[in-house]
Structure 1
Amino acid sequence: MSLLSLFLGEKKKSASVAKERLQIILAHERSGRGVAQPDYLPALQRELLAVISKYVKIDSSDLKMHFERQDNLEVLEVKIELPEPGK
């Protein structure tokens, strides 16, 4: 390594620069798709409601599902409001 390249830095090859730019674009596009929900969520919600209804009387508004992407994880949050015992 020469003293001049130490101070000025080495020029990157155009292929590596293009690769880095493509990785940034792909990461940006992937993060933008975080709001889209999978196609199976409505069917999953209906099936969960049917199974729970076998044991406890609940309304469809008592079952709430929330889907989000966090980094490399997909998180599905399911909230079920059960009636108080004896009602």
Structure 2
Amino acid sequence: MGILDFFKNKPKNTANVAKERLRIIVAQERAQRDSPDYLPTLRREILEVIKKYVNVDPDAVLISVERDGEHEVLELSVALPEKANAALGNG
């Protein structure tokens, strides 16, 4: 390996990235089929509240409902930007 090889951009494995994105989309579609009708409204309202404090991408808020025995569990996942994590003391 020559010194110039070190500075060359290495090709990104776009097939793996595309595969992972597709897997996420399929999982979200499956989750939405069995989800209650109020979830899109809940997601939008939660996003509005979060945006009062942190500028997040609308796709960064994921909400799902899972059945755990006789209980339903609401799962909320918000991917905060790096600057927000540092401001909150988490980064």
Instruction: With the length of structure 2 as denominator, give the TM-score of the two structures.
Output: 0.53
In percent, how many aligned pairs have the same letter? 45
How does 1:13-32 map onto structure 2 within 5 Å? none
Q: What is the aligned residue count?
A: 53
**Runs ≥4 in structure 1, deviation > 4 angstroms?**
none
Deviation, 1:65, is: 1.1
Please say which structure displays the higher CA radius of gyration.
1
**How far apart are the structure 2 equivalents of 1:38 and 1:61?**
19
Instruction: With the length of structure 1 as denominator, give the TM-score of the two structures.
Output: 0.55
SS at match of 1:85: helix
Report the equivalent of 1:50. 48
Report the equivalent of 1:73. 71
Deviation, 1:66, is: 1.6
Instruction: Point out where structure 1 has 5 or more consecutive residues left out of the alignment.
Output: 1-34
| RMSD between superposed Cα atoms in Å | 1.8
**How far apart are the structure 2 equivalents of 1:73 and 1:37?**
14
**How far apart are the structure 2 equivalents of 1:36 and 1:57?**
30
Deviation, 1:73, is: 0.5
SS at match of 2:44: helix
Deviation, 1:85, is: 2.3
**How far apart are the structure 1 equivalents of 2:58 and 2:67?**
25
Deviation, 1:69, is: 0.8
Instruction: Point out where structure 2 has 5 or more consecutive residues left out of the alignment.
Output: 1-32, 87-91
